Amino acid sequence: MQLLTLLSIPIIFVSSAFYFIISRPSNVYIFDPTVLHSLTHSALQVHGNNTAAVVSQLVSELSATHPKHVNLDEEWVFNNAGGAMGAMYIIHASLTEYLIIFGTALGTEGHTGRHTADDYFYILQGEELAYAPGVYEPERYPQGSVHHLKRGQVKQYKMDSGCFALEYARGWIPGMLFFGFADTFTSTLDFYTLWRTVWITGREMIGNLMIGKL
């Protein structure tokens, strides 16, 4: 019991410190949801359904404005979370933000997870459907639209067929990771993918931390 009390002190301290930091956005966040939306619009206008070209334009524009914070290597890994399956390419990961390309060429469906961050899902190809309990009609997010899942909100989501999105999360990112990894232990047992995901995420988070990006 005393040990628990002792342990809770640093946990409360670290959480309050982070809550304080993330409640002052201008100091921490380097990406902007509105700017990301207009970047996806212009990339879609130029390249349409050529999603590989859309992704490559997005990443090169992000890297032009944030040269130190963008991973140019398209290191795709599978991600199983909340019962849904897709693949992702991590463009940026730090303690308070991540930016990935997420999607599937086949379609998938699952639980969004209840997160400690705001999540913006900019549809690049296909369509995403979502709904929250108590609603009888699905929300529809076609190509070019954005699905903003607020911190703490949960929905069921579905991609009927191929769908890819630029996903931006801002908030307390380590709090989201266990959701992102849990299906490995209860379902896929794909520890190689888990290892690669942890390696890439850790490398990006620590790399960013070392240049002063929380």
- What is the binding site for ligand NAG (CB under 6 A)? 48-49
Which value, in Å, is the radius of gyration of the alpha carbons in the chain?
Answer: 18
Residue closer to ligand NAG by CB (options 22, 165) is 165
> How near is the Cβ of 146 to ligand NAG at its closest, in Å?
18
Distance CA 7, CA 29 (A): 29
Residue closer to ligand NAG by CB (options 49, 187) is 49
Of 104, 97, 51, which is closest to residue 76 (Cα–Cα)?
104
Residue closer to ligand NAG by CB (options 164, 172) is 164
State residue 169 phi and psi, 5-degree precision: -120, 135
DSSP 116: S
> How near is the Cβ of 105 to ligand NAG at its closest, in Å?
13
> How near is the Cβ of 127 to ligand NAG at its closest, in Å?
8
Helical ranges in 24-173 per DSSP H:
25-28, 33-47, 51-65
Residue closer to ligand NAG by CB (options 60, 161) is 161
Contact 174, 208 (CB under 8 A): no
> How near is the Cβ of 22 to ligand NAG at its closest, in Å?
37
